[in-house]
Amino acid sequence: MKDPLRILTVIGARPQIIKAAAISHAVRTAFSGRIHETLLHTGQHYDANMSQVFFDELGIPHADISLGVGSGPHGAQTARMIEGIEAEINTGKHDVVLLYGDTNSTLAGAVAAAKLHVPVAHVEAGLRSFNKAMPEEVNRIVCDHCSTWLFCPTETAVKNLAREGFSLDLGAPATADRPHVVASGDVMYDNSMRFARMAAARSTLVAGLGLADGGFLLATIHRDHNTDDAARINAIFSSLLELHHRHGLPVVLPVHPRTRKMMAALLHANVRAALDDAAGFHVLPPVGFLDMVALERAARLVVTDSGGVQKEAYFFGKPVVVLRPETEWVELVEQGQAVLADADPGKIEAAATHFLQGGVPPCPPIFGDGHAAEAICAHLLGA
Phi and psi at residue 228, to the nearest 5°: -95, 10
Alpha-carbon dihedral of residues 113, 119, 123, 129, nearest 10 degrees?
70
Question: From the CB of residue 2, how many other CB atoms can be counted at a distance below 10 Å?
Answer: 7
| Total residues in contact with ligand UDP, by rule CB under 6 A | 16
Any contact of residue 154 with ligand UD1 (CB under 6 A)?
A: no
At closest approach, how far in Å is the CB of 136 from ligand UD1? Answer: 5
Is the CB of residue 46 less than 8 Å from the CB of residue 70?
yes
Residue 197 binds which entry of ligand UDP, ligand UD1, none, CB below 5-8 Å type-dependent: none
Phi and psi at residue 283, to the nearest 5°: -95, 110
At closest approach, how far in Å is the CB of 180 from ligand UD1? Answer: 25
d(CA 23, CA 1): 22
Of 25, 222, 282, 371, the active-site residue reads: 222
Interface pick for ligand UD1 out of 4, 215, 257, 345 (rule CB under 6 A): 257
Q: Based on the number of CB atoms within 10 Å of its own CB, is 304 exposed (0-12), middle (13-18) or buried (19 or more)?
A: buried
Taking residues 47 to 86 in sequence order and writing x for each that binds ligand UDP by CB under 6 A, - otherwise, the string is ----------------------------------------
Is the CB of residue 256 less than 8 Å from the CB of residue 286?
yes
**Please, which residue, 250 or 254, has the CB nearer to ligand UDP?**
254
Any contact of residue 205 with ligand UDP (CB under 6 A)?
A: no
Which residues share a beta bridge with 303?
219, 321
Which residues share a beta bridge with 283?
253
d(CA 236, CA 349): 11
> Using alpha carbons only, what angle is made at residue 156 by residues 151 and 158, rounded to the nearest 5 degrees?
40
Selected range binding ligand UDP among 109-117, 138-146, 282-290, 338-346, rule: CB under 6 A: 282-290
**Please, which residue, 77 or 203, has the CB nearer to ligand UD1?**
77
Any contact of residue 289 with ligand UDP (CB under 6 A)?
A: yes
Any contact of residue 13 with ligand UD1 (CB under 6 A)?
A: yes
At closest approach, how far in Å is the CB of 12 from ligand UD1? Answer: 8
Any contact of residue 153 with ligand UDP (CB under 6 A)?
A: no
d(CA 244, CA 282): 11
Q: Which residues are catalytic?
A: 222
Residues near ligand UDP (CB under 6 A): 14-15, 18, 220, 222, 254, 286-289, 292, 306-309, 312
Residues near ligand UD1 (CB under 6 A): 13-15, 44-47, 50, 71, 102-104, 135-136, 222, 224, 256-258, 261
